[in-house]
Amino acid sequence: MIPKRRVLISTLILLVIFVILTNYYFMAILSRNESEVRKFTKSTIEEKILQKVPLIAHNYRNRRIINDNLTDTFIHNLKSTTVFKNKSNLWKEAKSWVSKTQLYNYSSPHLGSVLFALKSAKIIKADIDIRGTQLKLLLTLEGNQNVIFKPKWYPIDKIIEGPVYAGKDRYFSEILAFYLSGILGKPLTPLTVERKVSLKNEIVPVATTRLLNTIYKRRSATCVYGKCFYCKREDPVCENENGMITGAIIFNVDVDFKVNRSPWQRTYKKGKKAVWETNDDYCKSVKLKLSSRRLLNLIDTSVFDFLIQNGDRHHYETLDDSVILMDNGKGLGNPNIDHLDILAPLYQCCMLRSNTWERLEQLSGGLLKEKLKVMPDINNLVTEEHLNAVERRLLIIYATVEYCRTRNKIEHSML
């Protein structure tokens, strides 16, 4: 009797210990999973997309046989220049190209002439451009054309660490964006070229008083700091040893764009997430507020921004309801990183315009990089690492569409 009872009691005790331990174990595991899921729905989607990359890579390794007349025409026109004696006629033509479907005409034989004029026309007036948060000059070129000058802050191989929106404007990102828009067949960026200007000889003699007030000599170099949210006297742009500052000249199309808040805006606060970053079904709520056409435009924009890694499009401009690609200076920060969340509009909505998809497919097999490599000045502007990164990101876009397909969700729209 007695040993039997002892066995029973010890069994009971063991059972209790077992129950407590397993309970504890499962609670620990479950709560860990739950908090991970809560914290990272976005990153599990992104993981799934990255898992697709090696599975689909072979589908996109080969060059498609296409008649790429569009890009060939664009590149041909970029490089052919005739010098216009009367600049105002040339500017007038460039302005006539602007419509809701394009900011420039890549079929125009005068495209190269306009770019050449942007690079070389005499500066007849120089002022501060107070729009935006970073140093910009508003220059007037002979023939009365206003352009924006965004100066170079970093060498082109500088790697910007930190969040996707870190650092100052990269002027070469503005120029790559212009080239990319042409290659993608979406001429929605303003015309942009690289130009070197002498502050002392070209700007100071024609500068407004308020600009002159921000120009001073440091050691023997002439420097400028402008007027803007981040502009500081201690942090100017200075002429190099040849007396020049380099930057991007951006054609000012002189139309009033409407400025809209992006539904995929970031919070810009460390540790604080926006709704789109925590809610898998976010696209549903966007669909209630925006037309399909607008949504497809924003998805096109996210594809464009992902290729150059511009993660700073907190607002976007529209012209007659079309989304325009202005302000592309926050791309090309770090060629070793792909911020997948720039693609959130694509992977959350799983919609893509058919002609965008066709064009992206056509650019497979290394064609995108090849086209970029023959663009004017490209070797002064963009490192091989950045070009390879653009190519790698194209593959990630294919993988994202594949991810949507496996969820039976991809919707190709003709809108």
Residues within the interface to ligand NAG (CB under 6 A): 69, 72-73, 76, 86, 88-89, 97, 105, 107-109
- Pair of tokens at residue 42: 């976005």
Q: How far apart are CA 172 and CA 248, in angstroms?
A: 7
Query: Would you say 10 or 88 has its CB closer to ligand NAG?
Result: 88
Question: Which one from 129, 300, 312, 341 is the annotated catalytic residue?
Answer: 312
Work out how close the CB of 324 gets to ligand NAG at its nearest, in angstroms, rounded to a whole number.
16
Catalytic site includes residue 312: yes
Query: Would you say 69 or 380 has its CB closer to ligand NAG?
Result: 69
Annotated binding site for ATP: 134, 150, 317, 327
Q: How far apart are CA 356 and CA 323, in angstroms?
A: 14
Under 8 Å between Cβ of 393 and 338? yes
Burial readout 307-344 (b: 16 or more C-beta within 10 A, e: otherwise)? bbbbbbbeebbebeebbbbbbbbbbbbbbeebbbbbbb
40-to-33, 35, 45, 269 alpha-carbon distances in Å: 10, 8, 9, 17
Annotated binding site: 134, 150, 169, 317, 327
Q: What are phi and psi of 326, to 5 degrees?
A: -95, 155
What is residue 298's three-state secondary structure?
helix
Under 8 Å between Cβ of 351 and 296? yes
Q: How far apart are CA 288 and CA 281, in angstroms?
A: 12
Residue 247: what residue type? G
Work out how close the CB of 172 gets to ligand NAG at its nearest, in angstroms, rounded to a whole number.
26
C-alpha distance across the termini of the chain, in Å: 85
Q: How far apart are CA 244 and CA 234, in angstroms?
A: 19
Query: Would you say 107 or 318 has its CB closer to ligand NAG?
Result: 107
Name 302's Cβ contacts closer than 8 Å, sequence gap at least 6.
Answer: 264, 342, 343, 344, 345, 346
Query: Would you say 84 or 264 has its CB closer to ligand NAG?
Result: 84
Q: How far apart are CA 119 and CA 106, in angstroms?
A: 18
317 bridge partner residues: 259, 324
Work out how close the CB of 76 gets to ligand NAG at its nearest, in angstroms, rounded to a whole number.
4
196-to-83, 332, 337, 411 alpha-carbon distances in Å: 19, 21, 30, 46
Annotated binding site for Mn(2+): 169, 327
DSSP E strands, 19-141: 123-128, 137-141
Work out how close the CB of 73 gets to ligand NAG at its nearest, in angstroms, rounded to a whole number.
5
182-to-6, 234, 321, 412 alpha-carbon distances in Å: 85, 38, 20, 22
Work out how close the CB of 176 gets to ligand NAG at its nearest, in angstroms, rounded to a whole number.
22
Residues counted in the chain: 415
Q: Which residues are catalytic?
A: 312
